[in-house]
Amino acid sequence: MPGLLLGDEAPNFEADTTHGRIRFHEFLGNSWGILFSHPRDFTPVCTTELGRAAKLAPEFAKRNIKMIALSIDDVKDHLAWSKDINAYNKDEATEKLPFPIIADSKRELAVQLGMLDPDERDKEGMPLTARVVFVFGPDKKLKLSILYPATTGRNFDEILRVIDSLQLTAAKKVATPVDWKPGDEVMVVPSLTDEEAKKLFPSGICTKELPSGKRYLRYTSHPK
């Protein structure tokens, strides 16, 4: 099956978008990137998602994230839909969004990236794209993949939280525990010995005692 697995390099596809024609690697540059797909233009859940994404664009920019969406309609429809999205946000109903939308009317890119939802079809019986989230690192490799069905809208606050974790753990030898939020304690990765951890985290390490006697639950404060 076509598709991307964690660690795969993003294909350097060319595509027409609402911001002009792009080559994906050049679009990303040295930034992180997020690609999120949508089943169809002028649909209710997709409109709320893109509205939320547009409102959060400054938060993605602060994290050095290039945003790009994909939907299985042409650029003309994307531009008309953008007016509805801006109106939904109670902004001026222009064709401009803070990120491009890829035109994939032949579903070629959706097939290549493994984005089609076999259970959701349009009135012609063609499969729709699922709600996929791909996050790529500056090395163009896939760091995160989340797949939602067409009927379930995404939580963009959660996507930002996961990106914060990805960027932190890419830079520091830590992992983030359940329900972690920026500023919370983090966990020391198992590959570090206690001595190595003490040198890396001068703020100290707290080890939770467990019935097994194994010292694997090691916490430290959020690294600077």
Residue numbers annotated as active site: 46
- Looking only at Cα atoms, what is the longest distance across the chain? 63
Strands 20-23 and 32-38: unpaired
Coil, strand or helix at 159: helix
What gap in Å lies between CA 127 and CA 148, rounded to an integer?
Answer: 15
What gap in Å lies between CA 19 and CA 17, rounded to an integer?
Answer: 5
Residue 142 in tokens: 């896939």
DSSP conformation letters of 87-155 = HHTTS---S--SS-EEE-TT-HHHHHTT-EEEEEE-TTSPEEE-EEEEEE-TTSBEEEEEEE-TTS---
**Cβ proximity of 106 and 45 under 8 Å:** no
Task: Give the burial string for 73-109 (b: 16+ CB within 10 Å, else e).
Answer: bebebbbebbeebbebbeeeeeeebebbbbbbeeeeb
What gap in Å lies between CA 66 and CA 95, rounded to an integer?
Answer: 19
Coil, strand or helix at 77: helix
